[in-house]
Structure 1
């Protein structure tokens, strides 16, 4: 492994992960990663995103970065000291791993499943939520503390699918079933159910990957959904980022027309990160916006951004 100060890189060997590096071995060999000797928190890491087959963790100006291949679903912790990501084994099983950027260690979340992915950090960074496929062949929300204690499946007894978990606050989570937006407490009880069409109108379509975020004051809802835009050259419905004022019921568009936005992330200090592509829809850029729709391009090639607190 070669490191340099301009572009610090590490990779995870044996990314078959759940099979040993040597096909003659019967025991699974977990991956390891060697991080730079300088703690990444001192490098002001503020953003993580996908660039093709690699993950990049970078400063907001992208001048300092570290990257590695073979992983997906990057999720930087609110303080920028940890990075969660998904690894896929040779049989298609998915699991979430966390790299501690301070002590340069990494480990798999101890969840009794071979299909859980796409971590999202609680506002304090103490707990991770994720999508998990349960024994009833339903999608649910899993939660676990980063020290691998307190694991539970939210709403495990019901027969509804719940997609795209996000945190409303430290003790409540959001998820949806394409038609309803649910709020769960950390113990798994449904504390609120809203019909999505009643919230945002009937002119939008919701996919399992679409996410909903409350603003820090709880007065607005930020989300990406399909719309009726016709974008020549785009396969499938166009998606965009919107913001709903819960008091006035007014929905405003954040992302510009002509940009398809399949991925959204909102920090707990209300910065809106999203990745989107314009015609010919072959390369996605990463943008950041405030609640007023003031947009800045921050990465010219990338998808699936997550950001830290300022």
Structure 2
């Protein structure tokens, strides 16, 4: 694996923490939000967003220009790099998703009449956001909503299954899993396909609710991270790595290098694989970007949970 050791530059605009939520707010009416700096953020070519400890960062791919703010998590940059979705945890224990326009500094809460929804994922066009939501039936489901706060739907809302880790197969279909099966839905909420995970990747991997599956642009491969049997001295807990599987012949290939623990991946609609990986002594993760053949480079020296734009 070729490493291009680019350190984060110092052009950073720090943004204040979150306002305290009103104690009498109703579920889905969270008033906490990040306070965007008054400095103009236009023409900064944001291409990557990630978590850095207690703050999230949006940056250009060369890390020369960036903004950051605290009190939020689960950063998700839009495919065009103009907007950033993120999760806010308020003082009342609510977890909600907000969308910030990084040019005009406006912020919008996604309104879904719920107080526990998180981890936004943009559709390839950037017009729809999917996320995990804790339903009235006390089950984890996938929600989708347009960025103008219309068209909210909970996918497959009547089934008794928890569905985790939504990703977009294409503009009109999403996938998620329940640790055993991979489910495909259309954006109207209909379940259109169910397949056992082992039918894709075999029995050699362990799957957690945080592991995610992405289809390649041509639909011929599935990219995922999963637990494996590697024994990494000094790592507490199971090791995870990034893999791809050819759906025609079921051949699984490793993307991330041996000796690295990868707990998070994100795949763009143009097949770039961003992942945060830690090597011995496993105390700090770095962010890499790779192609489908495993040719990777280091882009951020310290960070987790990366998402990227289209080129």
Normalized against structure 1, the TM-score is what?
A: 0.93
1:212 CA displacement:
0.2
Pairing 1:8–2:9 present: no
In the other structure, the counterpart of 1:65 is: 66
Q: 1:234 to 1:10 in 2, by over 3 A?
A: same
Which aligned runs of 4 or more in structure 1 are off by greater than 2 angstroms? 16-20, 27-40
In the other structure, the counterpart of 2:4 is: none
In the other structure, the counterpart of 2:287 is: 286
C-alpha separation between the residues in 1 aligned to 2:46 and 2:307?
11
Q: 1:282 to 1:32 in 2, by over 3 A?
A: closer
In the other structure, the counterpart of 2:45 is: 44
Q: 1:81 to 1:19 in 2, by over 3 A?
A: farther
Q: 1:28 to 1:19 in 2, by over 3 A?
A: farther
1:36 CA displacement:
4.7
Structure 1 residues 289-298 or 228-237, which shifts more?
228-237
C-alpha separation between the residues in 2 aligned to 1:221 and 1:123?
17
**Structure 2 SS opposite 1:99:** strand
Structure 2 contact 40–104 (Cα < 8 Å) conserved = no
C-alpha separation between the residues in 2 aligned to 1:28 and 1:208?
26
C-alpha separation between the residues in 2 aligned to 1:29 and 1:122?
26
Q: 1:34 to 1:157 in 2, by over 3 A?
A: same
1:32 CA displacement:
5.2
**Structure 2 SS opposite 1:48:** strand
1:138-195 per-residue CA deviation (whole Å, 9 max, x = no partner) reads 0000000000000111110000000000000110001000010011011111111111
Normalized against structure 2, the TM-score is what?
A: 0.92
In the other structure, the counterpart of 1:298 is: 299
1:32-51 per-residue CA deviation (whole Å, 9 max, x = no partner) reads 523454344x1110000000
In the other structure, the counterpart of 1:220 is: 221
- Tell me, which stretches of 5 or more residues in structure 2 are unaligned? 1-9
C-alpha separation between the residues in 2 aligned to 1:17 and 1:279?
40
1:42-100 per-residue CA deviation (whole Å, 9 max, x = no partner) reads 11100000000000000001110000001000000000000000000123220000001
Q: 1:18 to 1:212 in 2, by over 3 A?
A: farther
Pairing 1:125–2:126 present: yes
C-alpha separation between the residues in 1 aligned to 2:239 and 2:307?
22
1:280 CA displacement:
1.1
C-alpha separation between the residues in 2 aligned to 1:51 and 1:241?
21
C-alpha separation between the residues in 2 aligned to 1:69 and 1:308?
22
1:238 CA displacement:
0.5
Structure 1 contact 11–67 (Cα < 8 Å) conserved = no
- Tell me, which stretches of 5 or more residues in structure 1 are unaligned? 21-26
Higher RCO, 1 vs 2 (CA within 8 Å, ≥6 residues apart)? 2
**Structure 1 SS opposite 2:194:** strand
- Map residues 1-310 of structure 1 onto 2, 5 A cutoff: 6-14=11-19, 16-19=20-23, 29-31=31-33, 33-40=35-42, 42-310=43-311
1:17 CA displacement:
3.4
Structure 1 contact 19–28 (Cα < 8 Å) conserved = no
Structure 2 contact 49–56 (Cα < 8 Å) conserved = yes
Structure 1 contact 221–245 (Cα < 8 Å) conserved = yes
1:7 CA displacement:
1.7
C-alpha separation between the residues in 2 aligned to 1:297 and 1:32?
29
Alignment coverage as a number of residue pairs: 298
1:10 CA displacement:
1.6
1:103 CA displacement:
1.9
